[in-house]
Structure 1
């Protein structure tokens, strides 16, 4: 056993956990929160709700939005503080600094916003689990692909352990979601999507109701219902799957969440889950090349050069 641990540590020491893979995931998660705050004034996302006379609720709460007076001028000021922090996270500046700030912003949003899709809660958990990786990241930019100088064995061990904890957490999330659905008769008999389509809060709008009516009102409704369960089971099973299958599962999983975004309006949740799924289904020590973007930028630069001549 000790020999296996030694071999694992040796492998980790030869690899680099601080790549643009987790950088991309951080940026996507932060982008979702950033869009939420940019688009919505505090009067829309922080207001009294059922059972809560004043908002944000600050009893035993360390949220940023609870540090000042409870008025929308102060809440708006804090909103812009969060926006600045999230912009720094999105562009990838100093993960060691912005990692803690990103978690605190995510925690504050999860504690203070009136939300119904669960995206902010997922972001708060994930940014917390990312802290051991961000705090040991020596880079100035999380997009950097340059080799890390110096021997950083302890930092690498910490980062890789955190990565595996994240993978287990994501797998448990989808496993729990599947089990919870299977405890409801609507999911078992295949009619759950019909009821979601009719739901007034997050159901289909008039366009999608008309478009999907032939399916959701027919026996074929079992296809999207059981299909959702099947995809979630596959995502959970990816914890044990060979890495060669991860990319295909990632594409399927992200596609499922983007369907949720378009048809159910769960946009912030779907963006956050896309970032989380990149962490879950991409080896953290690999490097994303962004070949298409580089080629596009190169072609534009080359064309400009031709024009200037």
Structure 2
């Protein structure tokens, strides 16, 4: 019986809870990039917004940072009103250390203190400070597992991280996703309770409010708000996007990537409409830091086997770069609904489109197929190829149709071997 005709015997390799925790990939570069986006936004805020605006006199609050109760430990409160410039310099230097990725285990908590200082001291916040404080706190917990000198110049060595510390870091990322789910769902639900939103007049009031950004003024001068269907689209699009973000934020890796795309669209539009650049950049940075898609070529997922589990000792994990047709890939169909499968010696290894590990036996015929996520039936076919060394890499490309054959080759020492 060939691998293409072998019965599918699904193997449960882990519980769903373990899979959720494992999805929090603390090796992801997105964590460092998201944290840097937050830090860059804060640095721009410190350098571009004058102290007169940041510490403006509001009601009974005189000019200067807010220094009541628990906020007195902030740097601005420690140095006093006469040394606010010195505090700005120290904060800017600390943010630069965060941005360049210097010793993330320690600068993570430095970033937390800086964020705390900014969040509690500014008298005219724009809403992003509170969210930043929460997520920078979560990222500080995640950074406990990061013992690198620079988070951009080396990969995180998982073998050197104590299991409890790794679990805490992963849990912090999961908590961040759940929190974002509630934040965006809450934002959408609140809008549903606003009369102007339900009557679709929110856009009209915004275009006639000079406190909003140039984009709303452009809509007003162009007469867009006079068209009912355009006003409806502009009014309800943010609500729909927020709901979609909320749902996808706690989904699979592809769902989280999709949610991040929606976050960029939503907050890009919000920046054009309101001009609140710092709030929107902080939200983008917070979301990016917790989507943590899995790294390529780091995971083996056994879909089925017709052999004894002990026989798997004779298999080796090789890199499998399997992709759908480039044109079809633009629409994300296969990434959303299917998975590539590598069959060899009675073992079927399921991977992700783009690059993953596959279990193969040296010298045994290999075929590449695919399946829909909710079914066990293998589809497609390919010519048989052979792997001669565990350093070899399988490269496969699917044709334009689901029933098209995979074009497969084995790349060894830079030279393809079509098998």
The aligned residue for residue 244 of structure 2 is 234
Change (3 A) 1:282 1:196: farther
**Which of 80, 83, 92 in structure 2 is aligned with 1:69?**
80
Give the deviation of 1:11 after TM superposition. Answer: 7.6
CA separation of 1:211 and 1:199: change in aligned 2, threshold 3 A: closer
**Counterpart Cα distance in 1 of 2:213 and 2:25:** 44
Give yes or no for the alignment of 1:158 onto 2:193.
no
Residue of structure 1 aligned with 2:48, choices 15, 34, 39: 39
List per-residue Cα deviations over 1:165-192 (Å, max 9, x = no partner).
Answer: 1101111111111121111111122222
Structure 2: runs of 5+ lacking an equivalent: 1-12, 297-419
User: 1:18 is matched with which residue: 27, 39, 45?
Assistant: 27
Structure (1/2) with the larger strand percentage: 2
Q: So what's the TM-score if we normalise by structure 2? A: 0.61
Instruction: Give the ranges of 4+ consecutive aligned residues of structure 1 lying more than 6 Å apart after TM superposition.
Output: 3-7
Corresponding residue to 2:141 among 106, 126, 132 = 132
Matched positions, count: 279
Q: CA RMSD in A?
A: 2.6
Offset of residue 151 of structure 1: 5.1
Is residue 2:223 matched to residue 1:188?
no
Change (3 A) 1:282 1:192: farther
Q: Secondary structure at the match of 1:222?
A: helix
* Larger RCO of the pair (alpha carbons < 8 Å, separation 6+): 1
Please state if 1:210 is matched with 2:218.
yes
* Comparing 211-220 and 132-141, the one that deviates more: 211-220
Bigger CA radius of gyration: 2
Deviation at 1:244, TM superposition (A): 2.2
The answer to whether the 8 Å contact 1:235/1:249 transfers is yes
Given the superposition, is the C-alpha separation of residues 144 and 161 from structure 1 closer, same or farther in structure 2, using an over 3 Å criterion? Answer: farther
- Kept in 1, the 8 Å contact 2:21–2:171? The answer is no
Whether the 8 Å contact between 2:181 and 2:250 is mirrored in structure 1 is no
Q: Distance in 2 between matches of 1:142 and 1:85?
A: 16
Q: Deviations over 1:233-277 (max 9, x none)?
A: 001111343322332332222122012112311101111111112
Aligned partners of 2:57 and 2:63 also within 8 Å: yes
Check the 8 A contact 1:20/1:144 in 2, yes or no.
no
In structure 1, distance between residues paired with 2:140 and 2:150: 16
When you count helix as a share of all residues, which structure comes out higher?
Answer: 1
Determine if contact 2:46/2:92 at 8 Å carries over to the other structure: yes
TM-score, reference length from structure 1: 0.82
Please report how far the alpha carbon of residue 158 of structure 1 lies from its aligned counterpart in structure 2 after TM superposition: 1.1
Deviation, structure 1 residue 136? 2.1
8 Å contact kept, 2:25–2:292: no
Unaligned runs of at least 5 residues, structure 1: 288-309
Q: CA deviation at 1:37?
A: 0.6
Q: State the Cα deviation string for residues 206-252 of structure 1 (Å, max 9, x = none).
A: x7513454222331211011000000000111134332233233222
